[in-house]
Amino acid sequence: MDLAALEKQLRTLQASAETHVSAVTASAELDDLGSSLLGKRGAITEILRGIGDLPAEDRPKIGVIANEVRAAIDALVSARRETIKADELRDQIERERSDATTPGPAPSVGSLHPIPETIAAITEIMAAFGFVVAEGQEIEDDVTNFQLLNIPEDHPSRDLWDTLYLKEPGRLLRTHTSPGQIRTMQAGGPPIRVILPGRCFRYEAVDASHGFEFHQVEGLLVDRSASLSDLKGILNELARGLFGPATQTRFRPGYYPFTEPSVAVDVSWPGSKDGWMTILGAGMVHPVVLENGGIDPETHQGFAFGLGVERIAMLRHNIPDLRAFLENDIRFLSGFR
């Protein structure tokens, strides 16, 4: 092996490196190619093994050439690396480019639970008649939940309400929103036009149409004069507002110790599959109840009604089982938009 032959090998290597390097398109591949040319076990090192065969005075010359070739290849690789990097960056930008005109992910919008939704619907209708929302309390006392509503202790009509009593004597979970009538009357004199929505509790065996926890909306009007026909007119409007303009109502005699006379109100509409459905109890406020509320029954009259929110929500939305209201199943809840 002489100087010329070694030089030729190096130049050939340089030439072929040029073709190979410019053909590479990925960084990792270029790294491999770079070390196979320039590395410790690379092609140049391999060629320079032949240096031992050269006469001593030629060795520095081939060293100079080898350095030249090494530098040239190194420059090729570096230049190629820059190009590849730029290409890769451009590709990445292209890949990750966001298109501002693409529709975004739909935001998840919540909706009212059917119980508050129904209470809101009732509130809106009653607001048109001047009724404002007031609040009662869930923990009541026996006196307000029963006695002041004309239901004495040991009165058989208490059997209408399966009461959950608290440990503290005289305390209970309200069985209806009617004690709110007493509290409202005591809090301020007539004229009164309130609705009292809220949760009530009864000791009931739970099934598709009974819960031990449910909602009512109480309505109370007290003024110098109020009549059963006023009550009828308002309840007719309420029924039509809730179930549609073609809704019919039926007023049947009912019994509640705190109203006299008392009525039960049924609704029906064209195509309603269950015929008449009872949605509320109502009546003229009993004089004794007015008195218990601090109002003179000689000068004032009132009417009251109490409706079951679950029942109404079930009828409005065709819900077959009221247990669904408490299960928090998102598939059920998201059905009311």
**Contacting ligand PHE (CB under 6 A), which of 178, 184, 292, 301?**
178
Size of the site for ligand PHE (CB under 6 A): 11
Q: What is the DSSP string of 151-213?
A: --TT-GGGGGS---B-SSTTEEE-SSSTHHHHHHHHHS-SSEEEEEEEEEE-----BTTB-SE
Q: How far is the CB of 110 from ligand PHE (least distance, A)?
A: 31
Select 239 or 282, whichever has its Cβ closest to ligand PHE. Answer: 282
**Contacting ligand PHE (CB under 6 A), which of 70, 80, 174, 176?**
176
DSSP label at residue 58:
G
**Contacting ligand PHE (CB under 6 A), which of 306, 311, 315, 322?**
306
Nearest to 319 by CA among 330, 331, 328, 310: 310
Select 150 or 259, whichever has its Cβ closest to ligand PHE. Answer: 259
Tell me if 183 contacts ligand PHE by CB under 6 A: no
In the chain the first and final C-alpha atoms are separated, in Å, by 90
Q: How far is the CB of 249 from ligand PHE (least distance, A)?
A: 15
Separation between Cα atoms, residue 125 and residue 118, nearest integer Å = 11
DSSP label at residue 57:
G
**Contacting ligand PHE (CB under 6 A), which of 131, 214, 243, 256?**
256
- Cα pseudo-dihedral 72, 76, 77, 83, rounded to 10: 160
Select 9 or 181, whichever has its Cβ closest to ligand PHE. Answer: 181
Window 193-222: contact mask with ligand PHE (x via CB under 6 A): -------------------------x----
**Contacting ligand PHE (CB under 6 A), which of 131, 201, 214, 305?**
305
Closest-approach residue to ligand PHE (CB): 306
Structure tokens at 201: 């509790």
Tell me if 172 contacts ligand PHE by CB under 6 A: no
Q: Give backbone dihedrals phi and psi of 79, rounded to 5 degrees, phi first.
A: -60, -45
Select 163 or 247, whichever has its Cβ closest to ligand PHE. Answer: 163
Q: Which residues pair with 192 in a beta bridge?
A: 222
CB 307 within 8 A of CB 200: no
DSSP label at residue 104:
P
Site for ligand PHE in 275-304 (CB under 6 A): 281-283, 304
Select 70 or 183, whichever has its Cβ closest to ligand PHE. Answer: 183
* Runs of H (alpha helix) within 51-146: 59-96, 114-127, 142-145
Please report, as ranges, the residues that interact with ligand PHE according to CB under 6 A. Answer: 176, 178, 218, 256, 259, 281-283, 304-306
